Amino acid sequence: MSYREKFTGELQSLTDEVIDLGVLCYDRLQGVTNLLSMDDIEPARDLVSGDVEANRREYNINSQAVTLITTQAPVATDTRIIISSIKIAYDLERISDNISNLAEVRKRVKITNEKLLLRLRTMEQLASLMLKDVYAAYLDQDTSLCKEVYERDEDIDSLFVHVTTSDIFEDSDLFVSGQSQLCAKYLERIGDHVKNIAEHVYFVITGEKIEKID
Amino acid sequence: MANIKERNEIKKTVDTATLEDKTQGETKPEIIREPIFKTNNFNLWYGDNHALQDINLTFNKNEISAIIGPSGCGKSTFVKSLNRMVELVPIVRTEGEILYRDQDIFERKFTVEELRTKVGMVFQKPNPFPKSIYDNVAYGPRVHGIRKKQILDEIVEKSLRDAAIWDEVKDRLNENAIGLSGGQQQRICIARALATEPDVILMDEPTSALDPISTTKVEDLMQELKKNYSIVVVTHNMQQAARVSDTTAFFYQGYVVEHDDTKVIFENPRDQRTEDYVSGRFG
């Protein structure tokens, strides 16, 4: 096998690792807001401890990327794939952290406000769809889908603004409403990280930064 | 509701502020590029072999221009055309123009000697004359009729200093240049090229026969030389082209596939063949 073939294989395994981490985060995200209203606290505890795996995988991606940079002196698309793998892995790891933070909230309080839960659930689903679509955008090398995902973060942002400025907390006690606001913040951050990933994927494909559509 | 309105107001002011910052940051001082070599539809044949096809390139003053491409793509032939050395091969035929400072180098009134004084060349293998270090560097000026010892001394010292080898050889100028290391010999050859006060230095794989330390020295030297000279360098070493040059031209099968700022060629080339070549997929 030529060096170039070996290098191509190693690049492929690097991107596969990033995709695996993405799938792990996607799975962790599913139903995270349902935990907040659950009577049983165990699923939340399990979710928190699952973060270790995401950290381990991020570390592996980084060390593989470092090895490729030092041994292959990559250029052009190869460089973009390696650098973006590091960045995407970081964003995914942060998404996983925020999922754990959401689960941590359930260890402290149980949220019963249905109005609020509905909004949080919507934020979760929006983020989850963005993550799914950014993966599809990578597979199909679809730049317009990258842009779309990038723009869709605004939906989560406006829900966040809505949750934090509306009167849906009026009945709750102060501690519970504080914790609820944190949940909204964590979900909003997850949206931001997926938005970043869309930017990185766009960069891998085009070598350029996403121009905001006005 | 009032809250949201207020937020939007704040957001607007922040947005416009960052917008202004951005436009201010983008006004870079424009780099003025002065062309030194320009080729217009240059073609070259070795007998029936059409080795260079419609080459249109511009090299600028005080820049390092790299030429890359797989073996046999015509890059050495092209560089040797720039000082008409390629004419030493009897079966060569050319068409089109090569303008050096807006003057066609193939015009009758432009002599080869005049051209080669202005356009010096350094080769892949260090090729010092089997003479003393001093005589190697003084060779060109002597050919041009300079006989005064004092002037020759000055030229030799300046050239050796410019080639970053003065400190290593100043105490043994009368020793034979063949006794030096490969890296030192190469810098002696660069000094020899500098002694005739050229304008452009052509380098045909100047470091491919050198060890990494000598290579670094020659590359550092190129950065220094670029302040006063213009350099065209042929290299097989991708990383070298990426490190040292300002612009890069990619030759393939006698054509120029892409010529752009080095940053573009190595980070985001426009042509798939360039991408494949610089990332080692062929060649």
* Residue B13 forms part of a structural domain: no
Residue span of the structural domain in which B183 resides: 35-278
* Residue B225 forms part of a structural domain: yes
Place of tokens 């090299």: B59
Residue A76: its chain B contacts at CB < 8 A? 266-269, 275, 278-279
* Residue B251 forms part of a structural domain: yes
Residues 203-242 in B contacting A (C-alpha not used; CB under 8 Å): 238-239, 242
Give the pLDDT confidence of B163-212 residue by residue, as tens digits: 889 999 999 999 999 999 999 999 999 999 999 989 999 999 999 888 88
Amino acid code (one letter) for B112: V
Q: Does A1 touch chain B (CB under 8 A)?
A: no
Res. A172: pLDDT tops 90: no
* Residue B1 forms part of a structural domain: no
DSSP characters over chain B: -HHHHHHHHHHHHHHHHHHHHHHHHH-PPPPP--EEEEEEEEEEEETTEEEEEEE--EEETT-EEEEE-STTSSHHHHHHHHTTGGGGSTTEEEEEEEEETTEETTSTTS-HHHHHHHEEEE-SS----SSBHHHHHHHHHHHTT---HHHHHHHHHHHHHHTT-HHHHGGGTTSBGGGS-HHHHHHHHHHHHHTT--SEEEEESTTTTS-HHHHHHHHHHHHHHTTTSEEEEE-S-HHHHHHH-SEEEEEETTEEEEEEEHHHHHHS-SSHHHHHHHTTS--
* Residue B18 forms part of a structural domain: no
> Which of B73-82, B234-243, B274-283 has the least mean pLDDT?
B274-283
Give how far Cα A132 sits from Cα of A32, A129, A136, B269, Å.
16, 5, 6, 30
A3-206 folds as Methane Monooxygenase Hydroxylase; Chain G, domain 1 (1.20.58)
ipTM computed for the complex:
0.73
Q: Which pLDDT does position B7 carry in this prediction? A: 56
Q: Does B3 touch chain A (CB under 8 A)?
A: yes
pLDDT bucket at A17, cuts 50 / 70 / 90: very high
Interface test with A, best of B268, B270, B281 (most A CBs within 10 A): B268
pLDDT bucket at B1, cuts 50 / 70 / 90: very low
| C-alpha distance from B115 to closest chain A C-alpha (Å) | 37
* Residue B6 forms part of a structural domain: no
- Spatial CB neighbours of B169, under 8 Å, sequence gap ≥ 6: B133, B160, B175, B180, B184, B188
Chains A, B: CB pairs < 8 Å: 33
Nearest-CB residue to A76 (from B4, B7, B268):
B268
* Residue B29 forms part of a structural domain: no
Nearest-CB residue to A75 (from B4, B7, B279):
B279
Give the pLDDT confidence of A122-164 residue by residue, as tens digits: 999 999 999 999 999 999 999 999 999 999 999 999 999 998 8
Q: Does A74 touch chain B (CB under 8 A)?
A: yes
Question: How many whole angstroms separate alpha carbon B18 and alpha carbon B250?
Answer: 39
Contact A77 B280 (CB under 8 A): no
> Which of A4-8, B15-19, B182-186 has the least mean pLDDT?
B15-19
Q: Name the residue among B118, B123, B194 with its Cα closest to residue B159.
A: B194
Mean pLDDT of A162-185: 84
Mean pLDDT of B51-71: 95
Q: Between these two residues, B221 and B14, which has the higher pLDDT value?
A: B221
How do the domains of chain A map onto residue ranges?
Answer: 3-206
Res. B19: pLDDT tops 90: no
The overall average pLDDT reported for chain A is 93
Q: Which pLDDT does position B11 carry in this prediction? A: 54
| C-alpha distance from B52 to closest chain A C-alpha (Å) | 27
Give the pLDDT confidence of A28-86 residue by residue, as tens digits: 999 999 999 999 999 999 999 999 999 999 999 999 999 999 988 899 999 999 999 99
Nearest-CB residue to B4 (from A7, A79, A161):
A161
Mean pLDDT of B211-240: 91
